[in-house]
């Protein structure tokens, strides 16, 4: 067989392979779950770190059992953060307000609230607030793992912040939603080098 005929045969075989390759929906049941990530015990500087509590309000959290279950841990860490004088910033949805935040994690009058899309940096003053406080690291907690938590953390990474991701404060409507969001942040090209997975009680706060 000539080189030309061999190349033609190879091209035909590749074309058949591409044409017959199953798409991801057809292969859905064959996808094994990724291995669980290792969780760290990061130390953060109180004066260079901000706790972001995203959309933890009645409208968004109350219908989600996993979100409600996560609130006590958020409230306990919020108390620690405030005691260390760490910056705390909030977001709410378009119809939310300071009054609609769940009482255990309700903001104080001096703690800013922003409104935005799933990426709370877009169309808000969040980046401005953080830079004014010389923040370098954000701890991300959000009512929807694949919503505000995933997209705001990604936005933070793109703006140069380090991400501390407590896996017990990014609840989802399903376990798969949480798994997919955590995996995406730990493996995405824009976030993998700056994201640390942990739990709220494993975070060590270093006071200035």
Within a domain: residue 149? yes
Q: Are 43 and 206 in contact (CB under 8 A)?
A: yes
Within a domain: residue 34? no
Residues of the chain falling short of pLDDT 70: 1-20
Beta strands 204-206 and 137-142, pairing class: unpaired
H/E run at residue 139:
strand 137-142
Q: How far apart are CA 65 and CA 68, in angstroms?
A: 5
- pLDDT score of 97: 86
Instruction: Give the range of the structural domain holding residue 55, as residue numbers without chain letter.
Output: 39-206
- pLDDT score of 114: 96
Within a domain: residue 10? no
Gap between the terminal Cα atoms of the chain: 76
Residue 146, domain CATH: 3.40.50.850
pTM confidence score: 0.89
Angstrom distances, CA of residue 50 to CA of 35, 145, 163, 194:
29, 19, 10, 15
Within a domain: residue 15? no
| Triad 100, 103, 106: Cα angle to 5° | 75
Residue 182's φ and ψ, nearest 5 degrees, are: -65, -45
Q: How far apart are CA 31 and CA 25, in angstroms?
A: 10
Q: Are 139 and 164 in contact (CB under 8 A)?
A: yes
Angstrom distances, CA of residue 191 to CA of 6, 52, 184, 198, 200:
44, 17, 8, 15, 20
Within a domain: residue 27? no
Within a domain: residue 131? yes
Within a domain: residue 44? yes
Number of C-beta neighbours around residue 32 at 10 A: 5
Within a domain: residue 14? no
Q: How many separate domains does the chain show?
A: 1
Positive or negative, the CA dihedral 165, 168, 170, 176 is positive
- pLDDT score of 50: 98
pLDDT digits (tens, 9 = 90+) for 171-189: 999 999 999 999 999 999 9
pLDDT digits (tens, 9 = 90+) for 153-167: 999 999 999 999 999
User: Residue 96 contacts by C-beta under 8 Å, 6 or more apart in sequence?
Assistant: 55, 57, 59, 60, 115
């Amino acid at each position: 067989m000539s080189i030309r005929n061999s190349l033609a045969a190879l091209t035909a075989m590749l074309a058949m392979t591409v044409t017959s390759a199953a798409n991801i929906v057809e292969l859905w049941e064959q996808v094994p779950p990724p291995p669980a990530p290792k969780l760290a015990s990061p130390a953060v500087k109180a004066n260079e770190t901000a706790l972001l509590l995203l959309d933890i309000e009645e409208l968004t959290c109350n219908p989600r059992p996993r979100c409600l279950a996560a609130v006590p841990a958020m409230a306990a860490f919020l108390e620690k953060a405030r005691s260390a004088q760490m910056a705390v910033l909030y977001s709410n949805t378009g119809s939310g307000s300071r009054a609609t935040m769940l009482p255990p994690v309700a903001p104080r009058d001096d703690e800013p609230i922003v409104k935005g899309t799933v990426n709370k940096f877009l169309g808000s003053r969040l980046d401005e607030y953080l830079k004014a406080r010389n923040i370098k690291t954000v701890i991300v907690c959000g009512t929807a793992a694949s919503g505000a938590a995933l997209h705001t953390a990604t936005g933070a990474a793109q703006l140069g912040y380090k991400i501390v991701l407590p896996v017990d404060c990014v609840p989802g409507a399903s376990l798969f939603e949480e798994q997919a969001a955590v995996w995406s942040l730990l493996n995405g090209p824009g976030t993998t080098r700056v994201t640390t997975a942990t739990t709220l009680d494993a975070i060590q706060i270093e006071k200035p």
